[in-house]
Amino acid sequence: QVQLVESGGGLVQAGGSLRLSCAASGRPFRNYAMGWFRQAPGKEREFVAAISSSGVSTNYADSVKDRFTISRDNAKNTVYLQMNSLKPEDTAIYYCAARERTTVKYAYWGQGTQVTVSS
């Protein structure tokens, strides 16, 4: 199994930036594709961004494309989400998730980190 711990959340003004980190431990990090999801109050969890196990391929939700960047450092067992030009609508709990390269389901999840963007 793999354990995931998010960090880097906080309070920021609209237009500001934050970088979230997700530290992985357990099975080799390089074996997993990684994703970021978020859940705002009263809303369903939504996909934010994903990155392949090698880091070559990325995918973004339309709502964050051109503002957020997902990256990973397999040597550090860490995936990042750089968030720029933050908007109040980005306020949510952000979760890191992992899936094996041969599956489509994210089987492992972190506990989440709160991001709050003030207007």
Q: What local confidence, expressed as pLDDT, does residue 94 receive? A: 98
pLDDT surpassing 90 at residue 101: no
66-94 per-position pLDDT tens digit: 999 999 999 999 999 999 999 999 999 99
Strand partners, 46: 38
